[in-house]
Structure 1
Amino acid sequence: MTDATTASPSGADEATRELSISDLLRDQRYQIRAKTDEAAVRRYANALRSGAEMPPVRVAIVDGVPVLVDGHHRVAAHVSIGRSTVMAVIVTAPASEARWLAAQANLEHGLPLKPREAREAFRAFIRARKHVLKGRRRLMSLRDIAKALSGAATHMSIHRWMKKDFPKLSKEYGGGPGPTSNEPPAPESQQQVHFTDAMKAVAQVQITGRAIRDPELRGRLIAAIEDGLKIVREVGPWTLPEMSPDF
């Protein structure tokens, strides 16, 4: 399938193409909604069965990993009716930008955000440094941040959240907008996040794999593990950890 390439509002190139759902990282860190709306999934599934077309989902390539940032309900609907692929708009972005893209998508459409979800959108906004006015090295006002969050929170709520979540930045706002000198607290490094998730998955395989007695199922599992190991090895150079000597 030929990719359709356009420019996103941020200036980054976007490509639209069909992706395998199994290749997507559907991570809760990139979904500010507290839970999936099962009723919405059913509505989307019924629409798909009737032949309706839905807008493509949005995917960000973060450190080479395709992360679903918008369209969790649409993907769930595709899966529920047995589809294995979905059309996606793809853009390359750092983790902080991808989190904001996910939050922005929820602000622009769907049900109003709950207070907890609005706070997550605020955190994503700050960590993506959207509060810094480009070329001027000045900060947006709290009221302008509230507008950028589509009114999901008042400027008073944002002031309260900033004091708790970004205390250093909050001090700069105490005297009004001024030059930015403090970086927002950075979330855990994305490499460490991927490593932690991968290690959890490996541990789960080690535990549940022992319970599989059927030879055919065990063979399929082993083949999948070997394929995964091959992919990880081919990504780049790697070294084994040093083993401590026994005493």
Structure 2
Amino acid sequence: MKTPNQDCLELRQEVIRACLEMNAHGINQGTSGNISVRAGDQMLITPSGLPYEKMAPEDLVALPLDGSPPKNGQRKPSTEWPFHFAILREKTGVNAVVHAHPVYCSALAMNRQAIPACHYMVAAFGGCDVPVADYALFGSQKLSDNIIRALRDRSACLMANHGAVATGDSLSRAMWRMLELETLAKSYMASLTIGEPHILSDSEIEDVKAAFKDYGLKDSR
């Protein structure tokens, strides 16, 4: 039987693997992205400025979700820890948060352009579009508030003039959503170069959401 410490070690290792996967897929560049996971009553998040290939399990930073002071002797957490913390506190069904600067998501975010229901996979993010969270300085409380607002009934959003964030009930699901979101953003931008994409109706998206329940494309709660 695994001990809690063994489970925590495996979770830390899973986060490092996901970070390396982000860069391998071209979803992120350098250390600009960050990942957090729920670990009992605390959040584990990647440290600030440490290259992923040099990251060890003990480098991840543990922050209590009740807001109490973190344990001394840890590395500095990612500068984006406030919105990771806010998401995990606000959305109890979320157990992982992935933030990155994918090229196509970031391009749309620079234009502050949401992704409409141009493809049925938009439904995988909870509604009829993937919204854009209003701009605010990275690491600020205002940015956290803006992201929480954009994610009210969504599992991912773009971040104005910044990047994207995806959530899931597991790290694998959050990573899957980030990869799907970048693919969707790329397809949407390509469609705009050859004309005006047809937008699916709200009822058509609702049908897709219902069908997804049978295909395992909905987070467990």
> TM > 0.5 between the two?
no
Q: TM-score, normalised by structure 1?
A: 0.24
Q: TM-score, normalised by structure 2?
A: 0.26
Q: Decide which structure has the larger Cα Rg and report it.
A: 1
Q: Which structure's relative contact order is higher, taking Cα pairs within 8 Å and 6+ residues apart? A: 2
Higher percent of residues as helix: 1
